[in-house]
Structures are given as C-alpha cells and as structure tokens.
Chains A and B, each alone.
Chain A
Amino acid sequence: MSQVRVLVGTRKGAFILESDGKRDRWDVSGPHFAGWEMYHIKGSPADPNRIYASQSSGWFGQLIQRSNDGGKTWEPVDNKFVYEGVPGTHKWYDGTPHPWEFKRVWHLEPSLTDPDTVYAGVEDAALFQTTDGGKSWKELPGMRGHGTGSGWQPGAGGLGLHTIILDPKDPKRIFIAISAAGAFRTDDGGTTWKAINQGLRSEYIPDPNAEVGHCVHHMAMHPSRPGVLFMQKHWDVLRSDNAGDLWKEVNGNLPDDAGKRGFGFVIDIHAHEPETIYVVPIKSDSQHFPHDGKLRVYRSKTGGNNWEPLTKGLPQSNCYVNVLRDAMAVDSLDSCGVYFGTTGGQVYASADAGENWNAIVRDLPAVLSVEVQTLA
C-alpha cells in the first residue's frame, strides 16, 4: 500500500510525519536536530530514502545533514559554501554596496535522476551544487555573476535564493528565484542565466517594470508542462506560458486588500491537474496574517483568475499565523493530498485536493518548510 512521508522544517528542529495512503493517522517523529533552524528538508526523487536537510543556527552557522534511510538516521556532510572568485558586492538595504556574505542554505533541490546531485539555494543569493552526495559543494558562479548582480537588494528576510525548479524534460534548464531580485532561467545547465521578469509589476521599486528588483516569493511548475510556471510575488499571483519569458497577473477574485490583491508566500499545483493551483492569501506586506483572521486556501481550477476559498476544517476566526514560501506541498496519490504548515506550528493536510482539511500535527515550532514524498 502507498505511504506518504511529510518532511517538516521548523525554527527549532525537523519533524517527519508518516501515514499510509488513507492519510487519516499520522506517526510523528522528531524533533530531529532539536533547537536548530531547519530551513528545508527534501528527499531525492531518484531514491526516496536519500534525504537532505539544511540545518543552521545564528551561533554555529550552516550544516547539511544527509539520511540514507528515510530520515531514521542522519550524518553531517560538507558544510563549506565558498563563493567562486572575488565575491564582489550587491546592494544593501540603504542602497550602498555590501560584500556578498554566505549566511545560510534556504533551499535544497535534489536532482530528478541522481541521488548524489543536489542544488542548494543560499543567502546571500547564489546557487551551489554537489555531485557527490554532499561531500563537497561548488558554486555555479554564473548565477551570482549575472550582470545585474551588483544591483540586487535583499528583501526583508535577506537576499535569499529560495526557489529552484528543475525541468524534467530538459536537464539543462533550471528556474530559480531570489528575494528581492526576481526570477532567472538557465538553458545551459547553469553557465549563463536570463532574468525572466517581464510582465512583473512592483510598485515598491522606482521603475515598476524593471528587469530585476522584484520580490518573487515562490514559483511552481507542474512536471507534465515545464513551460508553464506559476508565481507568488510580493503582491500578485502570476503565470507564464512560455517558460518565464512573459508573465501575466492572475489575481482575479482573490481577497481585496485596500485595492490590491494577491499578497502571499506559497503557491503549488495539483499533482494530476496542471491548471489547478493553490495559494494562501495573506493580508498585506505589513501584517503577514490571513485576512479577517480566517485561514483560507484559495484554489483555482482554471490556472488563475477564478478562485474559490477552501475553508472546511481550517480555523475561520482568530487565526493570525503565516504560511511561509516553502511550506506547501502535494502528494501524488490518486486523490491528490495538499499539505501546508504555519508559523503557529500546525501542519494542515487535505486528502481530497483541498475540500476538507485536518491538522495532522499542531503546536510545533514555527514551520519553515513542508515537503511530501509519495512512497510506493
């Protein structure tokens, strides 16, 4: 029978939740790495027992952990992330040049085909790669060396490279996103990169249509349609039908927020319906909690514009949590499961594509990331 494993990173450790395919009873293990910030944990699509975890602390820095047995045991692997060459500068919050400094790994993206190959998105924004299972990391310097790099400015959470999407049909094509630089694409395996921000409009930068400077919060792609991307930006939900070359807003009837719509962090796609997408609208960039204290997932079955709130089983009063950018995922069972974690420490799951929700664990530390493995 199928099994589902949910990998949860929190401010104070990692938790692993497992269930059979019914998804009504969950075993919780953890905290793993108790007391450490676990920005992201993700399993290899090529070997689900191989899991990589980003472990960090303001005191002791960055560690990378690897499991070969589905998260039962872990071993630290190499944690040396050194920029290639002279790192140079990006813009600081006040607009002055600031040296590139490694702070942490935000996101780990294992290769679709090789368990030993993993990409790491880091702060200050850069892309690293291991091809030996984490024994060593090497920067792909073309990303940071993009001609616009000296003008990149951090978002409120830092200059993090937080989204990495691998194209299943073209191993040389990778999409990434950086707060607050924007989205980029390589078509040559990471040597050169193109800013793919045309159509994004950000009123908080002097030129709202600038090539870079957009605070992209997250992106998602359905593996069956690698040319179609969905984006949750600081404000606005967008889609691109040409691999990011041009974006259009699909906020539609998302909740009105003083004349604007579409602020949020997460975005994900139904496992079997590439036009069915999920977001969690959050009230404005200064409040960061759900509208009206009601936690609602919004689903569009039309690839945007037409949205319906999903509320059954979610708190509809006095709820003031946030859902962070890497904290939503789906399983690939016949009835698609959708999962998300909150800064209040709940992980909510729906085994029926969002119709009904349950907290499968609650009162964890603030959830930073949620990933799901569907196991045969």
Chain B
Amino acid sequence: MITVVLPEHLRTLAKVIGDVKLDVHGVVTQRSILDALEVQYPMLRGTIRDHVTKERRAFVRFFACQEDFSHGSPDAPLPDAVASGAEPFLVVGAIAGGNRA
C-alpha cells in the first residue's frame, strides 16, 4: 500500500482523516499515484493537477524521502521506499502561492 499525505484543505474535501492508503498497480510514479488517488477520491480531480493536461497545478508540490519531485517526470519511478509504503508521498501546498489573501 502506498501512503499519501494530503494538505489539510484536500483532506477536508476528500473527507479523510490522516494519511491516505492506496493500492497502486504497476510502476509507482507520480502519475500512477495520482490516477489511483483520483479514482478513490474523485472530488480531488482538478485540485492537484489539471483536468485535461494532467500537469501539476502551479502551487502544488510533491515531496518524498526528503526530495522534491515536483519538477521531475510524472512517469519516472519513485523511490522504492515510497513504492513499498515505508515512506509517504507528500502533496504539499507551496508556501509561496495562491494569491494575496
């Protein structure tokens, strides 16, 4: 099982408490994690990546194993520790982002 940590706003939207556990089939990548996440929680579609292009929203970041994967290929395999569930995949709202509010 993959562990995904969502930011507070998205946990509230998805009505989840704590971390999310996902079954991800095949190679564990950003794309396969987000595909599985959006199947399990369809209300998250469009909040992390664009509906059509599937590009990461500008002020969302992906961290794992103390590394920033935000600018990596969405199809690149993530570390074994993420694939095994030993380390979580973190979806983070950028500290500088959003708007003036």
Which residues of A are interface residues toward B (Cβ below 8 A)? 11-12, 35-37, 57-63, 76, 79-80, 82, 366
- Choice from B45, B51, B60 contacting A59 with Cβ under 8 Å: B60
A59, A76, A79 interface centre (most CB from chain B within 10 Å): A59
CB < 8 Å A-B pair total:
50
Please determine whether A82 and B51 come into contact, CB atoms closer than 8 angstroms: yes
Dominant SS among interface residues on chain A: loop
Chain B residues bordering chain A, tally (CB within 8 A) = 20
Please determine whether B60 and A62 come into contact, CB atoms closer than 8 angstroms: no
Please determine whether B46 and A57 come into contact, CB atoms closer than 8 angstroms: no
Query: B52 at interface (Cβ–Cβ under 8 A)?
Result: yes
Please determine whether A76 and B99 come into contact, CB atoms closer than 8 angstroms: no
Known A-B contacts A58-B59, A60-B60; A79 and B101 likewise in contact (beta carbons under 8 Å): no
Q: Which 3 pairs, one residue from A and one from B, show the smallest C-beta to C-beta distance?
A: A58-B98, A60-B47, A58-B99
Dominant SS among interface residues on chain B: loop
Please determine whether B45 and A57 come into contact, CB atoms closer than 8 angstroms: no
Cα separation A60 to B57 with both chains bound (whole Å):
7
Cα separation A63 to B48 with both chains bound (whole Å):
12
User: Measured between C-beta atoms, what is the minimum distance from B39 to chain A in Å?
Assistant: 16
With a cutoff of 8 Å between Cβ atoms, the chain B residues found around residue A366 in the complex are 101
**Residue on A with the closest CB to B49?**
A61
User: Measured between C-beta atoms, what is the minimum distance from B44 to chain A in Å?
Assistant: 9
Cα separation A82 to B53 with both chains bound (whole Å):
11
With a cutoff of 8 Å between Cβ atoms, the chain A residues found around residue B97 in the complex are 58-59
Known A-B contacts A76-B13, A82-B51; A59 and B94 likewise in contact (beta carbons under 8 Å): yes
Please determine whether B43 and A59 come into contact, CB atoms closer than 8 angstroms: no
**Residue on A with the closest CB to B48?**
A60
Please determine whether B99 and A61 come into contact, CB atoms closer than 8 angstroms: no
Cα separation A305 to B32 with both chains bound (whole Å):
63
Please determine whether B9 and A59 come into contact, CB atoms closer than 8 angstroms: yes
- Choice from A12, A61, A82 contacting B47 with Cβ under 8 Å: A61
